[in-house]
Amino acid sequence: MAIMTRRGWLTASAVLPAAGALVAFRSKAEFSAPLSGREVMRERYFPNVVLTTHEGKAVRFYDDLIKDKAVVINMMFAACNDACPLVTANLVRVQELLGERVGRDLFIYSITVDPEHDTPANLNDYAKSYGVGPGWLFLTGKPDDIELLREKLGYVDPNPEVDADKTQHSGMLRYGNEPLSLWSSCQGGANPEWIAESISWVLPKASRSTG
């Protein structure tokens, strides 16, 4: 997945051709409007697959979770004993640091890489065990849809053997502001205070302070 710096802006522009004189016996050429940077990001990286939250609610990935929001995304699985516990604990601390902004200015999404075993009930137990608060959803879905999300979000390892091992999944966090097409990433195992500060750059302007 193409990742921008946290101050970067993705823009896409095109110039419509100037209108020309009509030529006898020739139809006027029709041109479709160019895609905006936001639309390009949506088509490339945010398939609108149906997922199920740890609360048992069906949601569409783009329409319900990403569109018009600032978000943090990571991939995990409940039985993971490697990176997942650390990343989840760090995000719990990030949620504490950002306070009421989580669920209002920012939403956190943890997507399982093991949908065959991570049912909504299992993910609900996992969320409760970490004391996860409002504004943070754990998500599962059809295996093919999860694989599509892994690919589009850049969580696929180029080495097929490594990629097939769920314990080797990336501990990176993707975060961004969808309306602004502003996206970046950071290590989920980093210092939670630094993670919160990094994420704050994609929040609405009035909500950037983590103090």
Q: Is residue 11 part of a domain?
A: no
pLDDT surpassing 80 at residue 186: yes
| pLDDT of res. 144 | 97
Can you tell me whether residue 174 is helix, strand or coil?
A: strand
d(CA 178, CA 37): 10
Which one-letter amino acid corresponds to residue 192?
P
Across all residues in the chain, what is the average pLDDT? 84
d(CA 88, CA 126): 10
Please report which confidence band the pLDDT of residue 19 belongs to, taking 50, 70 and 90 as the band edges: very low
Can you tell me whether residue 177 is helix, strand or coil?
A: strand
Q: Is residue 77 part of a domain?
A: yes
Please report which confidence band the pLDDT of residue 164 belongs to, taking 50, 70 and 90 as the band edges: confident
pLDDT surpassing 80 at residue 28: no
| pLDDT of res. 197 | 96
Q: Is residue 17 part of a domain?
A: no
Interval 98-118 mean pLDDT: 97
Q: Is residue 16 part of a domain?
A: no
Q: Quick one: what percent of the chain has pLDDT higher than 90?
A: 67
d(CA 44, CA 51): 18
For 62-106, the pLDDT digits (tens) are 999 999 999 999 999 999 998 999 999 999 999 999 999 999 999
- Give the CATH number of the domain where residue 97 resides: 3.40.30.10
| pLDDT of res. 26 | 43
Q: Quick one: what percent of the chain has pLDDT higher than 70?
A: 82
Q: How many domains does the chain have?
A: 1
Q: Is residue 12 part of a domain?
A: no
| pLDDT of res. 66 | 97
Q: Is residue 25 part of a domain?
A: no
Q: Is residue 144 part of a domain?
A: yes
Instruction: Output the CA torsion sign for 83, 80, 132, 170.
Output: positive
pLDDT surpassing 70 at residue 46: yes
39 to 43, 47, 141: CA distances (angstroms): 6, 12, 24
Q: Is residue 130 part of a domain?
A: yes
pTM here?
0.81
Q: Which domain holds residue 55?
A: 37-205
pLDDT surpassing 80 at residue 150: yes
